[in-house]
Structure 1
């Protein structure tokens, strides 16, 4: 009887071990690491080098062309009447090197209600696009170095780098909407009307009450600003740098300092993700495909 009991016990334990061994196994945990893509700029074309001291490029989605502001001199504050606006195709061909002339040192540009608005030292200049004629000029009180321009829903916003002010123009009236922005330059407005700018403190955002918060404190002293959406931006520095930035990170995606090629007030073709770069003293526009 004892032998039978021992045999039965051994058989039971063997069956139990076999059952456990053949039972369902705990799945192995595999950690999936999402690859972070590094934004890049790839050169597509360069225009002819006859755009004299070009400071700003603006892509016009309606016509598919580019407006380029040309200071045509070494001094961005000289009132010499040599400044002009040129028109390029989006493939880089110079269609009209002197579409509008008689300006001084034109810089930032924006389109609103069929008009091209351009800053010109201490004036906001209005150009009728259909006729290619200067239709109006507004002297800005106390202005010293008017620079970048943006437009949203009929209001034109523009900066004064020397006075640290942001102005607005609407219904024939110029107002100052913000002060104390040291070396303010680039400005852009999101689809919801939120204003962003580049000054000595970095990339900043304006709240509805007029106060500001710094979104990114690393991208300082910026020139041109593009809002990509989803919290992402592209910003240029005149010295020859272009940055991809968010509220927490920043990556330099173009460095042309060694070539002594400046990266001034950039333009952007959102549909094709192309960044247009005015090279200032190199007298040409360069187009880059943005991949992010």
Structure 2
């Protein structure tokens, strides 16, 4: 074999050796696991209702400290100073514990608890009721007040709205002040754990800033009545005519529509540890409880 043949044979052997030692192709392909998050639609499921003796009930408030549920009953003209209004107490099963816990009010609406007292809006004044004695211990007339409505408390402060004048008032240390104006048809108000105020008015769901300005968060749920803050940017809001909505950053979901049954959904309450929405039905004269799943 000549030198040229030897070189040719050596080259072929080297090529074959590298081919055997090189990386081998396989039929295996890597697959990435795809996780699809299930989107759950919020729902309300009815669990109980009271007897129909809560005449023209407008607002419901759950007291976590005592387990009691307070109900404000107008029992007459929503703007009439007729002394027919009252506050009732029911339990978490819908039983009426005290029909006439407090009487002699006019047209009581929004309620909140602070400093050992129940505070109630009553047309043009804020009523203070001692929780232990059920006695009216103070009345705070609001200058220019016309239709005081919803109420919320935070660290001893009492915030409440006037639907006709578009104002938000504050009771702090026994003194009244106005902290926000220009909120057309404002009704529902609630305070988050960080002290931020939220409200419902003709333009929708709004965040109210300390400097009096506001930011609209939802423009669909307009003219709302009751407002519940769930946390993490989630809310439940009611419209008096018979609608309840779940609201978050993605928009809103209609949870309940009782307009055809002519059953109102006024200033709703909430039992957070059980996710129960408490609905005052106004002219139907009863409170209805719904389990919220979201």
TM class by shorter-chain length? over 0.9
Deviation at 1:287, TM superposition (A): 0.4
1:51 corresponds to which residue? 54
What are the within-5 Å matches in structure 2 for residues 142-161 of structure 1? 142-161=144-163
What does residue 274 of structure 1 align with? 276
Match of 1:61 in 2: 64
**What are the residue-to-residue correspondences of 1:1-292 with 2, within 5 Å?**
20=24, 22=26, 25-73=28-76, 75-292=77-294
Write the distance in 2 (CA, Å) between the matches of 1:290 and 1:12: 71
Q: CA–CA distance in 2 between the matches of 1:50 and 1:271? A: 27
SS of the counterpart of 1:258?
coil
CA distance in 2, matches of 1:32, 1:62: 42
Is 2:198–2:208's contact at 8 Å kept on the other side of the alignment?
yes
Contact 1:216/1:248 (<8 A) preserved: no
Q: Per-residue displacement from partner, 1:148-170 (whole Å, max 9, x unpaired)?
A: 00000111000000000000001
Distance 1:230 1:283 in 2: 33
Question: Matched residue of 1:192: which SS?
Answer: coil
Deviations 1:6-61 (A, max 9, x none): x989x9899799x74546x2312343221111111111100001100000000010
- Structure 2 unmatched runs, 5+: none
Q: TM-score, normalised by structure 1?
A: 0.93
**Deviation per residue, 1:125-153 (Å, 9 max, x gap):** 00001000111111100011000000001
Once superposed, which parts of structure 1, at least 4 consecutive aligned residues long, lie more than 3 Å away? 11-17, 19-23
Structure 2: how far apart are the matches of 1:92 and 1:145? 29
Higher Cα Rg, which structure = 2
Contact 1:202-1:216 at 8 Å conserved across structures: yes
RMSD (Å), alpha carbons: 2.1
CA distance in 1 between partners of 2:249 and 2:211 (Å): 21
Structure 2 CA distance for aligned equivalents of residues 222 and 247 of structure 1: 18
**Could you list the per-position Cα deviations for residues 108-127 of structure 1 after superposition, in whole angstroms to 9, with x for gaps in the alignment?**
00000110000000010000
| Number of residues of Structure 1 aligned to a counterpart in Structure 2 | 289
SS at match of 1:64: coil
